[in-house]
Chain A
């Protein structure tokens, strides 16, 4: 078996952090805030590694688009067992305008350049909550897609079976490779990076790219006008007895 897998990883504000809106209402405070790998992407990385352990996969390439700090996220992916990392460096100003469509266009080029057979992405990033990149990429490549997968089994080098989470239950999908998959939380329990692996990951090179290497123009399709905190709910009442 010799599949080449691409995993997309995004650096996001850690899921446990309470985010605060910037005073100019055009972004959230990110300086000095704990960041980590998007939880859904961690699951995608884990699944790719498991598929390699089952000898279905030859090589795993992790890609992250973002500012210089995204390298930390890629290092983490390398420490978990990814073979190759590509960092598409976007300066912070452009990164604020970056949308799933731009990411999908960059991924498309990487998929073509590296002759990738399977793309695994998280179903959504927990910061913008878009849930789009996988679908956009599948459309650009004209590949089949399976979103929100909770189980995947590779039948042979040409075909895979996946269970998808849908409203009201699950569905079993059979599709040909190449394909784009996006992960649901149910798929697996991501492992932790061990210290020796973290040390080893520091030696692995990260390939540096910029969006213009892929002829992708990051022109905004959307413009953020205002960010605000959600309306606070009025404090409730404590009830003494349930019989009130």
Chain B
């Protein structure tokens, strides 16, 4: 190699190739940074040019702040769907997570162990106010005043759906409900028409208020980090006389419908409440949660919050077993994302069969107890 520093090979860019002589294996080159003087030889060999190391997504990330509204149960337990919202938020920017409640320290410290969370904001609000949208939204607005978030998110539960639009209205922003995918920092995907149309929508507002469909995002893991917990003041709100007098919650040993790996659900085909026992038995044998179609909920076989579908819960378990469910559009909207769908229905023309991965055309009163027996063995 000619010239000084000629002892090392270097990649060169932007060199013009004048001519190639195959006989002598010579390439005639001309360029700015070719070492040596004109007419000298240089050795050329294969090389690898490193790709650019600047990651734009990383740069974007640093400049955006997201606030996640954590959801806690009346018993001060952290609702696990918050973790799904956190992982969605982490795709958009630095995550702060707001926990509200007088005795919710344990939930706050739990969230502080999520690696994706940079800061936990903790508002000491009296327990009786924790579920009131006008109070929670004022706390969120207070936090926003201090930190200027670009995104305010929550998992799409009845709680967040009641609170976040209120926040959006106060900021004069248009909220987005139930997003299932983040395409760009301002472009999101959501389902409309009971999940029959997938809509990509660009949000033109500077602050994006979003509820996240928890089944569409992985849950963030607990116990991998540690971040600070900051106390934030209670909100200032117009005094509204609005109180929760009592909550009537269903207590059941079975897993929570929203987070269950396996769900067994029953429909009109079960005919009456007593027959629902075979669904419970099957669910118990599988360690599954129980749900139902609108028909059975309306008929009073099941409590309302176990309805699966467009207007009920939207679930995405590993295994979904539909017993005696025809598969109306509104029901399918709630189970579309399930990994494996099994349908048991004696009507071979029921729409659910076109949708199921495995379908069995048989009388459920014969088949389901048999299946339960087999599983118990």
Query: Interface residues, chain A, CB within 8 Å of chain B?
Result: 13, 15-16, 18-19, 21, 28, 99-101, 104, 123-124, 126-132, 135-140, 142-148, 150, 159, 161, 164-176, 179, 184-186, 220-230, 233-239, 242-243
Complex: A243 Cα to B167 Cα, angstroms: 53
Q: What are the residues of chain A within 8 A of B133 when measuring CB–CB?
A: 135, 138, 145, 147
Q: How far is the CB of A220 from chain B (nearest CB, A)?
A: 7
Chain B residue, CB-CB nearest to A40? B311
Check A173 against B360 for contact (C-beta < 8 Å): no
Q: B329 on the interface (CB 8 Å rule)?
A: yes
Q: A174-B245, A237-B357 are in contact. Are A167 and B258 (CB under 8 A)?
A: yes
Check A228 against B194 for contact (C-beta < 8 Å): no
Within B340-377, which residues are at the interface with A (CB < 8 Å)? 341, 343-344, 353-362, 367, 370-371, 374
Q: What are the residues of chain A within 8 A of B167 when measuring CB–CB?
A: 139
Interface CB pairs A-B, < 8 A, 18:
A19-B197, A101-B169, A131-B177, A132-B177, A135-B165, A135-B166, A138-B133, A166-B158, A168-B250, A169-B247, A173-B242, A174-B244, A176-B240, A223-B204, A224-B201, A227-B198, A227-B200, A234-B357
Pick from B18-26, B185-193, B284-292 the stretch touching chain A. Answer: B185-193
Check A239 against B360 for contact (C-beta < 8 Å): yes
Complex: A153 Cα to B357 Cα, angstroms: 46
Q: B122 on the interface (CB 8 Å rule)?
A: no
Q: A129-B177, A222-B203 are in contact. Are A239 and B248 (CB under 8 A)?
A: no
Q: What are the residues of chain A within 8 A of B137 when measuring CB–CB?
A: 139
Q: A104-B169, A230-B191 are in contact. Are A236 and B174 (CB under 8 A)?
A: no
Complex: A239 Cα to B197 Cα, angstroms: 30
Pick from B31-39, B224-232, B302-310 the stretch touching chain A. Answer: B302-310
A16, A28, A129, A225: the one contacting B191 at CB < 8 Å is A129
Q: How far is the CB of B272 from chain A (nearest CB, A)?
A: 20
Query: Interface residues, chain B, CB within 8 Å of chain A?
Result: 73, 131, 133-134, 137, 157-159, 161-170, 172-178, 187, 190-205, 238, 240-250, 256, 258, 294, 298, 303-305, 310-311, 313, 329-330, 336, 341, 343-344, 353-362, 367, 370-371, 374
Complex: A166 Cα to B246 Cα, angstroms: 12
Complex: A169 Cα to B155 Cα, angstroms: 18
B165, B202, B205, B304: the one contacting A170 at CB < 8 Å is B304
Check B177 against A130 for contact (C-beta < 8 Å): yes
Complex: A221 Cα to B201 Cα, angstroms: 10
Q: How far is the CB of B232 from chain A (nearest CB, A)?
A: 20
Q: What are the residues of chain B within 8 A of A127 when measuring CB–CB?
A: 192-193
